[in-house]
Amino acid sequence: MAMNKNKLFAYPVLTNYTDDYVNVNLVLESTKILEKTKKISKLNYIFQVDDNNIIKLIKERKAKAVLKIYCPATKYRKIIDLTLGTNNIILNNADVNNKVQLESFIILTENIEQFCSESFNIDYRGDTFDLEKGSIIALGNQENVFIEKDIYEFTKVTSVIKVRKSTSDEKGMTVDYSDQNIYVYLPEEEYITYSQYAKHCLEVANSMVILPALIFVFDELSKDDDAFIEYEDCKWFRVIKRKIKDLFNQEFNSNFIKVAGSLLISQRILDFPLKSGFEWIKGKID
Amino acid sequence: MQLLYFKENAVDILKKQDLTANIKYYYGNNYWIEQKYPNQKFLLPFSKTEVPEFNLKMENGINDDYDNMVIIYENLKFLTDSQASDERLWSGMAHTIFWDYMQHRWPMPIDKEKRSRHILNNYFFWNSTKAVFLNGLSRLWWYARFTYDENLDDPYELTKYVCENDINGKIFPLLSCAFINNKEVFKNIIKAVKKYEEENNTKLSRNQFDELKKYLNRLSGKVFIDELSSEDIYNKICERIKIIRESSSWKNDVKNVINSIPRDEFTLDDVYLCEKQLQELHPDNFHIKDKIRQQLQFLRDDGFIESIDKGVYRKK
C-alpha cells in the first residue's frame, strides 16, 4: 500500500512536495527504464540528498535510505538499503506479478535525540525533535512498474475485448471496461447470432461490434485524466497502451486521444476493418 | 498427479458470464463442467512433471485446516509466489482434483442470496487484496507460506498457532495491514503475541487483538516497522498488551459499577460513589476519578451509554 501523500508528521520530513525543508535537493526515484529477462527484471534507482545533517546521519549509520518494493498480487514486500548514487535493483520475476509499487524513504536506524537541520523551514528553525528508531525523515517518489508475463506483450487488442451475452433487458450493446478485459454485452438474440457467425466474417463483426466499443472506451477515457491512473492496473489498458506506443510512438493519455481522435485510433488498432469487411461482403454478393 | 489450471477464458466464463446459471451445479459432483462445455478445453496441465499424489483431509471441517495447510504446502512448496497468486491455478484445482474437498469444507450456504458470493470467494479470487486468503484452497497454501519458519524446531509451529487462535476473527483482519506483507514482520508479531500469552498464561480476546492491530497500524504510520528487530517488536507488543489489558479491565470494572446503578439515567457523581471500590481493585492507581471519566468516554464511544447532558448519562 502506498504511503499517503497527505500524511502528516509531527516533525519536519524532507519531501519534494512539502516545504518542511528549504533549499534542499532530494532525488529518490528510478530511471524509469526497466530491463527484463525471462527470470529477472532490473532497474536503476537514484538516491541523492544535499542536507548536511541527513548526510552526516547516513555517514554515521544513524540513518539510511531504503526502497520498499511491494507487489499487491503476490504479497511480496521487500526492503532494500540504498546507497548514495545509482543503485542497481534486481527483481526476481517469480516473486512478483503485474504491478509492483516502489516507495523510498530515509529512516533512522536508532533513537535520535534533538534531531534538527539548518535547512528546516523557518517555522521549525531552532526546534529539535526526539525521534525513535524507524522514524521516517524523508520521503521519495512513489512509482509503479509492471512486470508481467511476456505473453501480454504479444497480446492482440482484440483478445482483451470479450463479447458476452447481456443479462439485462437493455436493447443494443453496452460496454464495461472496469475489469481486466473490456466486455461488450449484446442482447441475447444478437449474441447468439454473433457467436455463430462472427468467426466466419471477423472483419465485419469487428466493424459492427469491436470498433464502436473501442471508440466508446476512448471517448470516455478522454474525459478524465485520472482514468489513466485508475485503469493502469487493467490488462486491457496496458495492452492498448503498448499498441499505441507501437503504432503511434505516443504516450497514452487524454491529450493524445483528443489530438488523434477516438475514431482514427480505434481503426488503426483494428487495422482498418472496414476495408476487409466490405471486401468480404463483396465476395459474398459477387 | 497432474495439477491442472484453468485457461483465462474458463475463469471468465465460469466466474462472470455463466455464474448465476451454474449455481445449481455447485452441489454434488463436478461432471457438469465437461457436460455443459463439451467442446471447450478449459484446463491445461500446470507443468510437464507430475507431483506426488496427495489428498486433503475431509473429516472435521475447520479442525482439519492445520493438517491441510501442512499437506498442501509440503506438496506444493515449489510454487513461486507469482504462481501461487494466480487465480487460474487455484480455481482450476478447486473445480477438478479438489472438488470433493471444496464440497466438504465449503458447502453451499442455505441463504440463496449468499450463494454467488460464496462461489466467487471460495472457488475464484474475488475483489479483495486478501483474495488469496479467502479462496478455499489458496488460503491453505498462503497461511502456511506466511507462517512457515525453518528456524523453528517445528517449522509449522506458527501455522498451528494461527489455526488454533481464531484465524478468521483475529489473524485474517491483521492481514489487511500493509506491513504484514513482509512475512518476517508478520512472523515476528505472531511470535511476540504467542510468547506473551505463554509467559503470562493468558489468551488475547478478539477485541484485545483488534486493539493491538490498531496500535500496530498507528505505529507503522510513525516508524518503519520492517526495520524493527524481533526484540523491538516483542518489547513494543508486550508494552501495548499490558495497556490494552489494563484498559479493558478498567472498562469492565466501570461497566459493572454502571450496571449496579438501578436507574437508566445516572450522573458522574453516582459513579464517583464507587471510587473506593475501584481504588481497591486498582491499588496502584492514584487518579481514580480521572480514570472513571476516561472510561465513561470509552463506554460512550462503544455505544454502551450515551451522554445526555454535562455529567449526565443514560444506559443504552
Of residues A168 and B142, which shows the higher confidence score?
B142
Please give the backbone phi and psi of residue B305, each rounded to the nearest 5 degrees, phi first. -135, 165
The architecture that CATH gives domain B261-315 is Orthogonal Bundle (1.10)
Residue A181: Cβ within 10 Å count: 19
At B224-281, the pLDDT tens digits run 899 899 999 999 999 999 888 877 788 888 998 999 898 999 999 999 998 988 888 7
Cβ contacts of residue B96 below 8 Å, gap of 6+?
Answer: B4, B30, B43
- Residues in B touching A1 (Cβ below 8 Å): 178
The confidence score (pLDDT) of residue B270 equals 92
The confidence score (pLDDT) of residue A155 equals 61
Query: Does B232 contact A133 at a Cβ distance shorter than 8 Å?
Result: yes
Beta strands in chain A (DSSP E): 26-30, 35-36, 40-49, 63-71, 76-82, 85-92, 98-108, 112-115, 129-131, 136-147, 161-165, 174-176, 182-186
> Cell match 466466474: residue?
B15
At A211-266, the pLDDT tens digits run 999 999 999 999 988 888 888 888 899 889 988 988 998 889 999 999 999 999 99
Burial of B311 (0-12, 13-18, 19+ CB in 10 A): middle
Of residues A99 and B57, which shows the higher confidence score?
B57
Q: For the residues A25-45, what does the mean pLDDT come to?
A: 88
The confidence score (pLDDT) of residue A2 equals 47
Q: Which residue, among A71, A70, A144, A54, has the nearest Cα to A107 in the 3D structure?
A: A54
Indicate the residue of A72, A77, A179 with minimum beta-carbon distance to B129: A72
Cα angle: A195, vertex A200, A204; to 5 degrees:
90
- Residues in B touching A132 (Cβ below 8 Å): 222-223
On the question of pLDDT at B283 being above 80, the answer is no
Domain ranges of chain B: 1-164, 166-248, 261-315
The confidence score (pLDDT) of residue A4 equals 57
Query: Which of B47, B224, B225 to mutate: most A Cβ within 10 Å?
Result: B224
Domain ranges of chain A: 26-148, 153-285
Question: How would DSSP label each residue in chain B?
Answer: ---EEE-HHHHHIIIIISHHHHGGGGSS-STHHHHHSTT---EEES-SS---------SSGGGGHHHHHHHHHHHSTT--HHHHT-HHHHHHHHTTTTHHHHHHHSPPPSSGGGHHHHHHHHHS--SSTTGGGTSTTHHHHHHHHHH--TTSSSTTHHHHHHHHS-IIIIIHHHTTSGGGGSHHHHHHHHHHHHHHHHHTT----HHHHHHHHHHHHHHHHHB-GGGS-HHHHHHHHHHHHHHHHHHHHHHHHHHHHHHHSSSSEEEHHHHHTTHHHHHHH-TT-S-HHHHHHHHHHHHHHTTSEEEEETTEEEE-
Confidence tier at B14 by pLDDT (50, 70, 90): very high
- ipTM field: 0.72
Q: Which residue, among B68, B217, B56, B51, has the nearest Cα to B142 in the 3D structure?
A: B68
Q: For the residues A141-160, what does the mean pLDDT come to?
A: 72
On the question of pLDDT at A276 being above 90, the answer is no
Contact A76, A70 (CB under 8 A): yes
Of residues B39 and A197, which shows the higher confidence score?
A197
Indicate the residue of A76, A94, A134 with minimum beta-carbon distance to B228: A134
Q: For residues B210 and A42, what is the distance between their CA atoms, to the nearest angstrom?
A: 39
Q: For residues B282 and B286, what is the distance between their CA atoms, to the nearest angstrom?
A: 9
Query: Does A95 contact B82 at a Cβ distance shorter than 8 Å?
Result: yes
* Chain A residue with the nearest C-alpha to that of B232: A133
Q: Which residue, among B168, B108, B177, B96, has the nearest Cα to B137 in the 3D structure?
A: B96
* Alpha-carbon distance values, A169 to A152, A186, A191, B162 (Å): 34, 10, 13, 48
Strand order of the β-sheet with B265-267 is B265-267, B312-315, B305-309
> Cell match 483482519: residue?
B173
The confidence score (pLDDT) of residue B247 equals 78
Q: For residues A82 and A88, what is the distance between their CA atoms, to the nearest angstrom?
A: 9
Percent of chain B with pLDDT over 70: 100
Chain A positions contacting chain B at CB under 8 Å are 1, 7, 66, 68, 70, 72-79, 93-97, 105, 107, 109, 132-136, 162, 164-165, 167, 179, 181, 183
Percent of chain A with pLDDT over 90: 52
End-to-end Cα spacing for chain A: 61
Q: For residues A209 and A206, what is the distance between their CA atoms, to the nearest angstrom?
A: 5
The confidence score (pLDDT) of residue A152 equals 46
Query: Does B17 contact A72 at a Cβ distance shorter than 8 Å?
Result: no
Indicate the residue of B81, B86, B223 with minimum beta-carbon distance to A95: B81
On the question of pLDDT at B65 being above 90, the answer is yes
Cβ contacts of residue A67 below 8 Å, gap of 6+?
Answer: A45, A79, A80, A82, A87, A89, A102, A103, A104
Find which of A124-133, A229-238, B278-287 is predicted with most confidence, using mean pLDDT: A124-133
Indicate the residue of B17, B224, B232 with minimum beta-carbon distance to A105: B224
Q: Which residue, among B251, B150, B164, has the nearest Cα to B203 in the 3D structure?
A: B164
CB pairs < 8 Å spanning A and B: 77
* Chain A residue with the nearest C-alpha to that of B83: A94
At B156-205, the pLDDT tens digits run 999 999 999 999 999 999 998 989 999 999 999 999 999 999 999 988 98
Indicate the residue of A96, A105, A133 with minimum beta-carbon distance to B82: A96
* Alpha-carbon distance values, B75 to B1, B78, B142, B210 (Å): 11, 8, 13, 33
On the question of pLDDT at A19 being above 60, the answer is yes
On the question of pLDDT at A148 being above 80, the answer is no
Q: For the residues B73-96, what does the mean pLDDT come to?
A: 93
- Residues in B touching A94 (Cβ below 8 Å): 80-83
- Residues in B touching A96 (Cβ below 8 Å): 81-82
CATH of domain A26-148: 2.60.40.10
Q: How far is CA B278 from the centre of its chain?
A: 35
Q: For the residues B123-132, what does the mean pLDDT come to?
A: 88
- Residues in A touching B16 (Cβ below 8 Å): 164, 179, 183
The confidence score (pLDDT) of residue A1 equals 39
The confidence score (pLDDT) of residue A35 equals 87
Find which of A69-83, B133-147, B272-286, B293-307 is predicted with most confidence, using mean pLDDT: B133-147
